[in-house]
C-alpha cells in the first residue's frame, strides 16, 4: 500500500508529465488525418526543453506581473489535480479542499493571471487575445454552472468523486438523459476552453482568429515554456474531469496498492489520447467558426446543459 | 459491469445518489431528447434541403422510440406504426417536399438548395434562448399534468410538450413558407411522441388516420407553397406585410 500523500503527489506528476505527450499525440493524429506525416509525438517535450534553455526577455515597461503570472498560472494548474480523481476511485486527503466549483475557480484564476500578464505587455495581439478569452469565458460560464447543477441533482453533492461513483454504480446512470446531456455540454465547453476547432485553431498563426493562443505572444524562454506546459496541463486536467468523472470512470485504482496505482497512471494517458483522437477528428472535419458565431456554439452547449437540468429536475430522467 | 459501492470516505451525511432510471427508460428518454434537439437544430439549418433532412431524421428517431416502446411493453402494433412512420414521414413526405422545392428553385445555380440562412427574425443565439425558455415552460407544464403514462416514460411527455412549443417558435421565427410547413410537420412529430407516452396502445387505425391527416396537410401546404411562390416569386413571407392597411 502506497501512503495516500504519495498517491496525491503522483496525481500531480502524472498530469504534469503526461500533458505534453497527450498534446503531441493529438497533433500527430491531426496531421495523419490531413495526410501529413506530422511532428513526433515527443515533440512538445523537446520544445519545452529548448525553451527552458533560452534567454527570457520582457517588454520595456512590463510590470512584475508579467514574469510572475506564468509561474502563478502553472502553480494553479498543478493544484487542481489534487482535487479531482486522477488516479484513485476513492477520495484522497486533500480531495475535499474543493469541489467541482473550487477546481473551476482555480482554473479561472490561472486564466486571469495570464490575461493580466498579457495586458501588462502593451502588445495589441496579446491584449486582444486576453480580452477575447475573458469575454468568451463569461458566456461559457453558465454552461459549466448548469453542468454542476446536473451533477448536484444526480448525486446530492458536487464532489467529483461522488459523480464518478454514481456513474459506475449502474448502467441506468450512464444512459439517463441528464448524464448524457451534461457530459455532451461539458465536452463542448472543453473544446472551447482548450482552443480547438470550431472555436479556435490550435496550432495556427492566424492572429485575427486567435483567442487563447494569442495571450503568450510576448513571453519568451522559460516563462513561455511554463505557459505552454500550463496550457497542455490544463487540457489534460479538463480531459481527466470529463473522462474520470463523467464518461469513463474506469481504470482507476480502487485501493492504494502500487500495481493498481501504476495501472491507473497508464490508463489515464491512454484514455486521454483516445479522447484526443476524437478531438482531432472534430478538428479536421469542421471549419473554424467566425468570431461572432462563437455565441451560437455557446448557446448550443447551454441548451444541452439546461435540458440536462430540466430532465432530471422535472421528471427524474 | 462491476458494481462499485459508494466510495468510502465520503461524508456520511451525504444522501445516496438519485435513483437511476431503468436502462429502458433512460434510452427512451434519450431518444425523446434527441427528437427535441432535432427541433432546435432546425433553427440553425441554413438550407431547405437540410431542413427536410432534419425532419426525416427526427421521424426516424420517433420510429425508433416506437420500436423500443413496443419491444418493452409487448405491443406488436407499434412495430407496424414504426414502419408506417418511416415509410410516410422519412421517405414519402421528404420526397414530395423535395419535388415541390425543386419546382420553386431559383435558376441561379448559386442558390441551389434554397439558402434560408437569413430568414430568421432574430439572431440564432437569441432564438435558442427563447426556445430554451419555451421548452422549460413545457417541462413545468407537463409536471402539472396528472398523466402517469402506460407507454414511454413520463419524462418523454415533458419533452413532447417542449417539441410542440419549440416547433411553434420555429414557425414564428422563420420567414419562408417551406420552413413554416416543415415546422408544422415536426410539431406533429411532437404530438405523436406524446401519444406514445400517454396511450402507447392507441388503436393502430387511429394512428394511421392521424398520419393520413398529415399527408393531407402536406398536400395543402404544397399547394400553398406553390401558390405563394407563383404570386410572390419567392418563398419568403416578408412581402406579405405590405397587405397591411
Classify the C-alpha dihedral A189-A190-A196-A202 as positive or negative. positive
Q: What does the pLDDT read at residue B148?
A: 66
User: Are B14 and A162 in contact (CB < 8 Å)?
Assistant: yes
User: Are A156 and B132 in contact (CB < 8 Å)?
Assistant: no
Q: Which residues of B158-193 are buried (b: 16+ CB within 10 A; e: fewer)?
A: bbbbbbbbbbebbbebbbbbbbbbbbbbbbbbbbbb
Query: Contacts of residue B136 in chain A, CB cutoff 8 Å?
Result: 306, 310
Residue A295: which of B44, B125, B142 has the nearest Cβ?
Answer: B125
Q: Measured between alpha carbons, how far is A91 from A2 in angstroms, rounded to an integer?
A: 14
Which residues have a Cβ under 8 Å from the Cβ of B223 and sit 6 or more positions away? Answer: none
CA distance A309 to chain B (A): 10
Closest CA to A60 of A116, A123, A127, A125: A123
Substitution target from B30, B35, B152, B170 for chain A, most A beta carbons within 10 A: B30
Of the pLDDT bands very low, low, confident and very high (cuts 50, 70, 90), residue B118 is low
Q: What does the pLDDT read at residue B13?
A: 47
- In chain B, which among 36-65 make CB contacts under 8 A with chain A? 36-37, 40, 44
Closest chain A CA to residue B140: A314
Compute the residue count for chain A: 317
Q: What does the pLDDT read at residue B175?
A: 83
Query: Contacts of residue B125 in chain A, CB cutoff 8 Å?
Result: 295-296, 298-299
Query: Contacts of residue A299 in chain B, CB cutoff 8 Å?
Result: 124-125, 128-129
Check CB contact of A311 with chain B, cutoff 8 Å. yes
Structure confidence by residue, pLDDT tens digits, A97-111: 888 889 999 999 999
Check CB contact of B23 with chain A, cutoff 8 Å. yes
Of the pLDDT bands very low, low, confident and very high (cuts 50, 70, 90), residue B15 is low
Question: Mean pLDDT throughout A251-269?
Answer: 92
DSSP, collapsed to helix, strand or coil, labels residue A316 as: coil
Structure confidence by residue, pLDDT tens digits, A180-221: 999 999 999 999 999 888 888 877 666 677 888 888 889 999
CA distance A252 to chain B (A): 11
Query: Contacts of residue A161 in chain B, CB cutoff 8 Å?
Result: 7, 10
Q: How many CB pairs under 8 A join A and B?
A: 141
Question: Mean pLDDT throughout A122-137?
Answer: 90
Q: What does the pLDDT read at residue B123?
A: 85
Residue A40 pLDDT greater than 80, yes or no? yes
Which residues have a Cβ under 8 Å from the Cβ of B166 and sit 6 or more positions away? Answer: B36, B39, B40, B131, B134, B135, B138
Substitution target from B5, B18, B32, B37 for chain A, most A beta carbons within 10 A: B18
- In chain B, which among 188-217 make CB contacts under 8 A with chain A? none
Complex ipTM value: 0.91
- In percent, the amount of chain A with pLDDT more than 70 equals 98
Residue B1 pLDDT greater than 70, yes or no? no
Check CB contact of A306 with chain B, cutoff 8 Å. yes
Query: Contacts of residue A171 in chain B, CB cutoff 8 Å?
Result: 1, 23
- In percent, the amount of chain B with pLDDT more than 70 equals 82
Q: Is the pTM of this model over 0.90?
A: yes
Check CB contact of B131 with chain A, cutoff 8 Å. yes
User: Are B17 and A177 in contact (CB < 8 Å)?
Assistant: no
Which residues have a Cβ under 8 Å from the Cβ of A205 and sit 6 or more positions away? Answer: none
Q: What does the pLDDT read at residue B107?
A: 57
Residue A91: which of B10, B16, B158 has the nearest Cβ?
Answer: B10
| A195 in Cβ contact with A40 (< 8 Å) | no
DSSP, collapsed to helix, strand or coil, labels residue A88 as: strand
Check CB contact of B122 with chain A, cutoff 8 Å. no
Output phi, psi for A25, to 5 deg. Answer: -65, -40
Q: What does the pLDDT read at residue B152?
A: 66
Q: Measured between alpha carbons, how far is A252 from A261 in angstroms, rounded to an integer?
A: 8
Residue B201 pLDDT greater than 80, yes or no? no
Burial class (CB in 10 A: 0-12, 13-18, 19+), B15: exposed
- In chain A, which among 119-138 make CB contacts under 8 A with chain B? none
User: Are B18 and A312 in contact (CB < 8 Å)?
Assistant: yes
User: Are A314 and B139 in contact (CB < 8 Å)?
Assistant: yes
Query: Contacts of residue B8 in chain A, CB cutoff 8 Å?
Result: 90
Check CB contact of B130 with chain A, cutoff 8 Å. no
User: Are A176 and B29 in contact (CB < 8 Å)?
Assistant: yes
Minimum mean pLDDT among A240-244, B2-6, B101-105: which range? B2-6
CA distance B239 to chain A (A): 28
CA distance A313 to chain B (A): 10
Closest chain B CA to residue A154: B18
Amino acid at each position: 500500500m502506497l501512503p495516500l500523500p504519495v498517491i496525491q503527489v503522483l496525481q500531480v506528476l502524472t498530469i504534469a508529465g503526461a500533458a505534453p505527450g497527450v498534446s503531441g499525440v493529438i497533433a500527430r493524429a491531426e496531421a495523419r488525418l490531413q495526410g501529413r506525416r506530422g511532428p513526433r509525438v515527443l515533440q512538445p517535450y523537446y520544445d519545452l526543453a529548448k525553451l527552458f534553455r533560452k534567454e527570457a526577455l520582457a517588454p520595456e515597461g512590463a510590470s512584475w506581473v508579467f514574469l510572475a503570472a506564468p509561474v502563478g498560472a502553472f502553480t494553479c494548474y498543478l493544484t487542481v489535480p489534487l482535487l479531482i480523481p486522477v488516479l484513485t476511485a476513492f477520495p484522497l486527503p486533500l480531495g475535499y479542499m474543493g469541489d467541482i466549483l473550487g477546481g473551476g475557480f482555480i482554473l479561472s484564476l490561472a486564466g486571469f493571471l495570464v490575461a493580466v500578464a498579457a495586458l501588462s505587455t502593451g502588445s495589441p495581439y496579446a491584449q486582444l487575445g486576453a480580452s477575447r478569452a475573458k469575454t468568451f469565458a463569461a458566456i461559457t460560464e453558465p454552461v459549466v454552472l448548469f453542468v454542476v447543477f446536473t451533477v448536484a441533482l444526480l448525486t446530492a453533492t458536487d464532489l467529483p468523486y461522488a459523480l464518478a461513483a454514481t456513474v459506475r454504480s449502474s448502467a441506468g446512470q450512464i444512459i439517463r438523459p441528464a448524464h448524457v446531456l451534461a457530459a455532451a455540454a461539458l465536452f463542448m465547453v472543453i473544446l472551447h476552453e482548450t482552443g480547438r476547432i470550431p472555436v479556435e485553431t490550435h496550432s495556427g498563426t492566424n492572429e485575427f482568429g486567435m483567442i487563447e493562443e494569442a495571450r503568450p505572444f510576448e513571453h519568451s524562454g522559460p516563462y513561455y515554456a511554463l505557459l505552454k506546459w500550463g496550457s497542455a496541463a490544463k487540457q489534460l486536467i479538463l480531459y481527466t474531469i470529463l473522462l474520470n468523472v463523467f464518461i469513463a470512470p474506469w481504470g482507476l485504482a480502487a485501493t492504494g496498492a502500487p500495481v493498481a496505482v501504476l495501472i491507473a497512471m497508464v490508463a489515464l494517458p491512454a484514455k486521454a489520447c483516445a479522447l484526443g483522437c476524437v478531438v482531432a477528428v472534430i478538428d479536421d472535419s469542421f471549419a473554424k467558426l467566425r468570431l461572432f458565431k462563437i455565441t451560437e456554439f455557446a448557446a448550443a452547449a447551454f441548451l444541452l446543459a439546461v435540458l440536462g437540468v430540466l430532465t432530471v429536475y422535472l421528471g427524474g430522467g | 459491469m462491476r458494481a462499485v459501492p459508494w466510495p468510502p470516505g465520503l461524508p456520511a451525511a451525504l444522501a445516496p445518489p438519485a435513483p437511476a432510471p431503468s436502462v429502458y427508460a433512460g434510452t427512451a428518454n434519450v431518444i425523446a431528447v434527441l427528437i427535441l434537439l432535432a427541433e432546435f437544430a432546425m433553427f440553425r439549418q441554413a438550407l431547405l434541403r437540410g431542413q427536410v433532412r432534419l425532419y426525416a431524421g427526427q421521424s426516424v428517431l420517433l420510429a425508433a422510440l416506437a420500436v423500443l416502446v413496443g419491444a418493452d411493453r409487448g405491443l406488436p402494433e407499434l412495430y407496424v406504426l414504426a414502419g408506417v412512420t418511416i415509410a410516410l414521414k422519412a421517405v414519402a413526405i421528404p420526397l414530395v417536399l423535395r419535388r415541390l422545392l425543386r419546382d420553386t428553385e431559383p435558376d441561379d445555380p448559386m442558390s441551389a438548395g434554397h439558402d434560408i440562412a437569413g430568414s430568421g427574425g432574430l439572431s440564432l443565439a437569441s432564438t435558442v434562448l427563447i426556445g430554451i425558455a419555451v421548452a422549460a415552460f413545457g417541462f413545468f407544464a407537463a409536471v402539472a399534468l396528472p398523466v402517469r403514462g402506460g407507454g414511454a416514460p413520463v419524462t418523454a411527455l415533458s419533452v413532447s410538450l417542449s417539441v410542440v412549443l419549440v416547433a411553434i417558435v420555429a414557425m414564428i421565427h422563420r420567414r419562408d413558407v417551406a420552413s413554416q410547413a416543415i415546422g408544422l410537420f415536426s410539431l406533429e412529430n411532437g404530438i405523436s411522441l406524446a401519444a406514445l407516452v400517454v396511450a402507447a396502445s392507441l388503436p393502430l387505425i387511429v394512428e394511421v388516420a392521424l398520419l393520413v391527416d398529415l399527408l393531407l396537410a402536406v398536400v395543402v401546404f404544397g399547394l400553398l407553397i406553390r401558390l405563394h411562390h407563383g404570386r410572390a416569386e419567392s418563398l419568403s413571407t416578408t412581402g406579405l406585410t405590405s397587405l397591411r392597411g
